[in-house]
Amino acid sequence: MEINKQIEKAKQGDQVAFTFLLNYYWNEVYGFMLKRTENETNAEDITIETFSKAFDKIASYNAEFQFNTWLIAIAKNVHIDVLRKKKSSLFVEITEEEDHQAYNIADTTPSAEDELITEQNLSQLLQFIKELKPHYQEVIQLRYFQEMSYQEIANKIEEPLSNVKVKLLRAKKLLAEIIQSRR
């Protein structure tokens, strides 16, 4: 009964309900993905993506089904998408002519123009990050620039691991919205 109340609250946009659902189901979804991927980082990334998609689409959740079954179905789909992306990036059909062109490339170091574009993109990304609230900036900085694990971040900011996960999930979503609005 409590779960159904929290789901209804989440459908209304209640952040506390989202946190409750994330905490309640995290281990189940993560454990399921860990068995499938046999890789903690991949399982964690897929689990975060699963909750992100589930929370974005929570209005479409059908109460006739168990919530955890719905989450697992989303997790399976996210995992399939990840495998497809990985497979498509590994095998690219190229013609013999393209193969010769690739073989004849002498220097693969970035040109001055490439470095400038990369610098500008990073600069722009940092500007977008500065538009986030400070606590979101902090978790983005720690995770992606200092490459800390979720547990290391939790220890550093003295918050529970689940809060760190939710903050990162929310920060990435807000950052994506900022970037989309600027295009």
Does residue 103 lie in a domain region? no
Residue 79 shares a structural domain with residue 133: no
Q: Domain range holding 20? A: 2-90
Average pLDDT over residues 8-25: 91
Residue 51 shares a structural domain with residue 119: no
Tally of structural domains, the chain? 2
Greater pLDDT, 109 or 46: 46
* Distance set, CA 85 to CA 50, 52, 71, 81 (Å): 16, 19, 21, 6
Q: Above 90 in pLDDT, residue 21?
A: yes
pLDDT per residue as tens digits for the range 104-157: 554 556 666 666 666 677 788 888 889 988 988 999 889 888 888 989 999 999
Structural tokens at position 160: 């529970």
Q: What is the value of pTM for the model shown? A: 0.54
Residue 128 shares a structural domain with residue 176: yes
Write the CATH number for 27. 1.10.1740.10
Provide the pLDDT for residue 84.
Answer: 85
Structural tokens at position 142: 């720690």
Residue 146 DSSP label: S
Residue 73 shares a structural domain with residue 144: no
Report which of 138, 166, 179 is spatially closest to residue 14, judged by C-alpha positions. 166
Residue 182: what are its φ and ψ, rounded to 5°? -90, -5
Write the CATH number for 125. 1.10.10.10
pLDDT per residue as tens digits for the range 50-89: 998 898 899 999 888 899 999 999 999 999 998 888 776 6
Residue 22 to residue 4: CA distance in whole angstroms: 14
Provide the pLDDT for residue 109.
Answer: 64
Spell out a b/e string for 73-82, using b for 16 or more CB atoms within 10 Å of the CB, else e. Answer: ebbeebbeeb
Residue 69 shares a structural domain with residue 115: no
Residue 69 shares a structural domain with residue 116: no
Does residue 75 lie in a domain region? yes
Residue 109 DSSP label: S
Q: Above 80 in pLDDT, residue 94?
A: no
Angle at 162 between CA 165 and CA 135, to 5 degrees: 55
Provide the pLDDT for residue 52.
Answer: 87
Report which of 142, 170, 179, 144 is spatially closest to residue 158, judged by C-alpha positions. 142
Q: Above 60 in pLDDT, residue 37?
A: yes
Provide the pLDDT for residue 125.
Answer: 82
